[in-house]
A = this chain, B = another copy of it.
Amino acid sequence: MIIDELVQKIKLTGNPSVVGLDTSPEYLPNYEKICDDKTAVAESMIEFNARIIDKIKGIVPAVKVQIAYYEACGVLGMAVFAKTLRFAKNSGMIVIADAKRNDIGATARQYASAFSSGDFDSDFVTVNGYLGTDGIKPFLGDENKGIFALVKTSNPSGGELQDLRLENGLAVYEQMARLVRGWGRESVGKCGYSNVGAVVGATYPEQARQLRQLMPNTFFLVPGYGAQGGGAEGAVAGFDRAGGGGIVNSSRGIICAYKQDKYKGMSYADAAYAAAVDMREDLAAAIAHK
């Protein structure tokens, strides 16, 4: 079970965090010099990601690669996406493709195929369950692959639909949580969690605590820590009593750490490493105080 591998790596590193490689070309220190040369930009993006991965791979269990940043660079960007996934995998990290895919069954089968083999092969892919079970089923069944389905997102307007109350008394996001729980029933690993995880934002700790009750076997991918305004306490609100059950993402907070005063003078890779260590300590303190 891939979820067991993820949980094992979190234990080995003592670090329930994932670094988001949302590598916008503008984040490259040399961007202004090369911005007119698309090939040079693509090469710089893969070098940037590779150096950060090389630096953090011993202390961070996983990377989350946000496909949008690569898609915005066209076909060349998609090649960088593919190379980044492969480099991270070959570096021993767990790889999450953040793509929030969603479609009807026949099309979902294509997406599942895209992320389970070939250029975009990943351990986990994020999905959106608005289309219900037949859009999710194609992603299930291979115990070496997992998904994280959106439940309660970290953004300010996530609640416009997700927080509305249904006639049955549940909020829409809770109903989604029930669906996600059901999708994961067949793939619970030795660690007690399922290959079907949930995205639960760090910015809504109250809901995260409640979702932990509702989905006891569902592992949480927690966005919203750091740049999006969520603190460590909120980020681990949905963790279980043993301090597990989730992994917290930080993207710009790590890969753009070199721009922060705190890490001034460091290379981007060294700054990313230092920021990852700081994040690990921040999360550990929050878990200890839970």
Contacts and interface: CB of A to CB of B under 8 A. Distances in A.
A74 interface: yes
A69 B22 contact: no
Interface stretch (A46-54, A99-107, A259-267): A99-107
Interface stretch (A3-11, A55-63, A153-161, A185-193): A153-161
A150 interface: yes
B111 A155 contact: no
A120 interface: yes
Contacts of A113: 72
A102 B100 contact: yes
Interface string A132-154: 11110000000000000010011
A233 B113 CA distance: 34
Contacts of A162: 130, 132
Size range of the chain A interface in the assembly: 35 or more
A108 to B, nearest CB: 8
A78 B99 CA distance: 15
Interface SS majority for chain A:
helix
Contacts of A157: 131-135
A22 B131 CA distance: 19
Interface stretch (A172-180, A213-221, A237-245): A172-180
A74 B82 contact: yes
Nearest to A118: B74
A79 B78 CA distance: 9
A72 B111 contact: yes
Interface stretch (A29-37, A88-96, A163-171): A163-171
A129 interface: yes
Contacts of A71: 110-111, 114, 120
A110 B68 contact: yes
B72 A75 contact: no
A119 interface: yes
A207 interface: no
A24 interface: yes
Interface of A: 22, 24, 66, 68-69, 71-75, 78-79, 82, 100-108, 110-111, 113-114, 118-120, 128-135, 150, 153-162, 164-168, 172, 175-176, 179, 223, 228
17 contacts: A68-B103, A68-B107, A68-B110, A72-B110, A73-B118, A74-B120, A100-B103, A100-B128, A104-B228, A128-B130, A130-B153, A131-B150, A131-B153, A132-B155, A132-B159, A133-B157, A164-B168
